[in-house]
Amino acid sequence: MNKWLPTVTALAGALVLQVGVAPHLAISGVVPNLFLLVVITLAMLEGRSAGAAAGFAAGLLFDLLGTGPVGAAALVFSVTGYIAGSLSEHMFAESWLMPVTVVFVASLSAELAYALVLTVLGAGSPFWSAFASVILPAAVYNSVLALLVYPLLARFLRRGRPMTTFGRIG
Amino acid sequence: MRLPEPERSGGGTALLVALVVISLIIVTVYFRESDSGPLHRMRRLTQAASAPVATAGEWVFTPVDAVRNWFGGFGVSRDEVETLRAQNAELRQRVSELEEARLENERLQEILGFIQARELDAVGARVIGRPINAWEGTIVIDRGSDDGIEPGMPVLAPEGLLGQTVDVTASSAKVRLITDQRSGVSAFIQATRAEGIVNGSIEGELSLDYVSREVTVTVGDVVLTSGMGGVYPKGLLIGEVADILAAENDLYPSIVVRPSARLAGIEEVIVLVGAPPEPDLGSGE
């Protein structure tokens, strides 16, 4: 239970912040995806299995909070968590660039995949419009936020365990 | 040094496959079930449970937004003498508030007149939630089925049409804005009576589609709901034509519409309850 408590707390915190705070941080209609930030951070710290499981839970919450098809984000975030976990296993945590890069790549992939799933399910929009107005800005916004969120979240999630990551900016 | 201890090769793949399969089953069930199905019910429960959080967020950020707007509006006068600036700011703020109240009163009177003329019932509501992701244009209001609200009811801002209710719980309702990419409103141009469909987009912009090329459309033309489709009563103000792009080979001109309603930062809305009257396209508004 102790192992899962920080994860569940982080996801609950993401839920509260996504509903209560994120809408007020929107820039030109682009709302940061705090669920995705938590999933990617978890995946980087705990590995791809934890990333996939957290991605599924966060995606399901994301689906239930929105008006789109339920299950679409659960599918995309599961895969994203798995890929982010795999990516981080093959990268070195020597600088701030690593989490920012992983968050950017994972966010971009997640938003692209979500757009694709919406299109397949008949709720999509023209690709280049979606790319220019949502997908790319959201990936950039999330990776900028990762600079702030990642060190805090990493410390919280790895409390009581050696924390050698991100030392240079922490 | 590496972040986590790497998992075994192939570790987690079985879990991922299981989660993907479960997700696909959930999507299938969602599309197959009716509005009273378990996933739709779960969504309404989530909406009801998250409404207090959204309300708290609105409560906390309203003054923050006001202060941000205030500083934005008075940024030019920062170099002026300190006391005069403060005095000036206070007076301007008061004048602005009074002017805003006067304009809002006028707009509300107009809407009230519109509602009374058509013998429609209306319920006032406060916005308690903003779009929580970039993919959809929806807001949450603090009125639900306990107040007589049902899915598919038109929602107005003082300046014009805002959208329609989609998911309704006992004490809250989600409103899909007309700028949402899944929104489509039957409309006509007031001056020429040309009909079309006002569609939203992922960029949050409105376009008036399927208007015949033979109709002359000019920038500034007023666009109103036509009443076709059974959701919106005829004559609700949607916006005005902002731009017209007509390539030679296009079947229909591309008409950009500027919405009348202030979609960002909207605080109060009006929900029209009850069925809309039959459309009557033969008469003007």
ipTM: 0.86
Q: First vs last Cα of chain B: how many Å apart?
A: 71
Among B15, B166, B204, whose Cβ lies nearest the Cβ of A67? B166
Tokens representing A63 are: 């689906």
Place of tokens 């696909």: B24
Decide if A151 touches B, using CB distance below 8 A. no
Residues sharing a CB contact under 8 Å with residue A9, sequence separation 6 or more, in sequence order: A156
Helix (H, G, I), strand (E, B) or coil at A139: helix
> pLDDT tens, A124-162?
778 888 898 889 999 999 999 988 888 888 888 876 655
Instruction: Identify residue A115 by its one-letter amino acid code.
Output: A
List beta partners, residue B127: B141
CB atoms within 10 A of CB A144: 14
Interface test with A, best of B1, B3, B39 (most A CBs within 10 A): B3
DSSP B207-222: EEES--TTS---TT-E
Higher pLDDT pick, A29 / B46: B46
Q: How far apart are CA B279 and CA A21, in angstroms?
A: 42
> pLDDT tens, B137-159?
899 999 999 999 999 999 988 77
Contacts of B166 in chain A (CB under 8 A): 67
pLDDT higher than 70, residue A67: yes
Q: Cβ B39–A70 below 8 Å, yes or no?
A: yes
Q: How far apart are CA A30 and CA B201, in angstroms?
A: 14
Instruction: Identify residue B14 by its one-letter amino acid code.
Output: A
CB A55 within 8 A of CB A80: yes
Locate the chain A residue with the closest alpha carbon to B14: A49
At B66 the pLDDT is 67
Strands (E), B55-153: 121-129, 138-141
List beta partners, residue B206: B257
Mind telling me how many Å the CA of B161 is from chain A's nearest CA? 19
At B71 the pLDDT is 62
Q: How far apart are CA A103 and CA A105, in angstroms?
A: 6
Element (H, E) at A128: helix A127-130
At A38 the pLDDT is 93
Contacts of A134 in chain B (CB under 8 A): 134-135, 202
How many percent of chain B have pLDDT more than 90? 39
Contacts of A64 in chain B (CB under 8 A): 42-43, 46-47
Among A19, A55, A121, whose Cβ lies nearest the Cβ of B132? A19
Helix (H, G, I), strand (E, B) or coil at B133: coil
Q: Cβ A24–B26 below 8 Å, yes or no?
A: no
Q: Which residues of chain B have pLDDT under 50?
A: 1-3, 279-285
Q: How far apart are CA B157 and CA B271, in angstroms?
A: 9
